[in-house]
Amino acid sequence: MALRTIRLLGDPVLGKVCREVKEMTPKTKILIEDMLDTMYDACGVGLAAPQVGVLRRIVTIDIGDGPIVMINPRILSSDGEQTDGEGCLSLPGKAGKVTRPNHVIARAFDEDMQEYEIEATELLARAICHEIDHLEGHMYTELVEGDIYDVEGGEEE
């Protein structure tokens, strides 16, 4: 188990666009394992590679149903709307109200570079949108409606 340092809002790496993963390498496999360890250690529901300082299109998510690894993820379609509090491991202890699609269909590669499709609603749909935004250099704070408020032990992405 290896933990990586989570970059915080204001770190320039969080504002950069990530590059695609072309092939799985031992180094990338270790990165994914470290991302999962780091996400669980921080009690987050999602983590994107730039949050640990790596500009690659890799995301890990676990909303309580087991780990999901998304490499080069893209959203194929989205519909509906949900508005709820959203947090981020790069802005610990804070949350804000964000509107996201309530239903998304996404495509990604797993850690064996096998392509798969995932259909998600509610929190999982929110997490997928949140993490893909990180890969484009965006933080949820750009989408917050109203104020960013303090939370204790909330779900963070």
> Could you give the residue numbers annotated as active site?
131
For residue 46, the 8-state DSSP code is E
Cβ atoms of 54 and 67 within 8 Å: the answer is: no
Answer for which of 49, 88, 98, 129 binds Zn ion (CB under 5 A) is: 88
Residues 6 or more apart from 10 whose CB is under 8 A from it?
A: none
Q: Which helix (H) or strand (E) holds 35?
A: helix 26-41
For residue 6, the 8-state DSSP code is P
Size, binding site for Zn ion by CB under 5 A: 2
Residues 6 or more apart from 114 whose CB is under 8 A from it?
A: none
Q: Is 157 an interacting residue with respect to Zn ion (CB under 5 A)?
A: yes
Query: What is the smallest separation between the CB atom of 119 and Zn ion, expressed in angstroms?
Result: 22
Adjacent-strand bridge partners of 120 = 104
Which residue stretch of 33-41, 85-93, 94-102, 112-120 sits at the interface with Zn ion (rule: CB under 5 A)? Answer: 85-93
Spatial separation of the C-alpha atoms in residues 76 and 148, rounded to whole Å: 30
| Nearest residue (CB) to Zn ion, 68 versus 88 | 88
Which residues ranging from 32 to 61 are in contact with Zn ion (CB under 5 A)?
none
Query: What is the smallest separation between the CB atom of 25 and Zn ion, expressed in angstroms?
Result: 25
Query: What is the smallest separation between the CB atom of 130 and Zn ion, expressed in angstroms?
Result: 5
| Nearest residue (CB) to Zn ion, 72 versus 157 | 157
- By CB under 5 A, name the binding residues for Zn ion: 88, 157
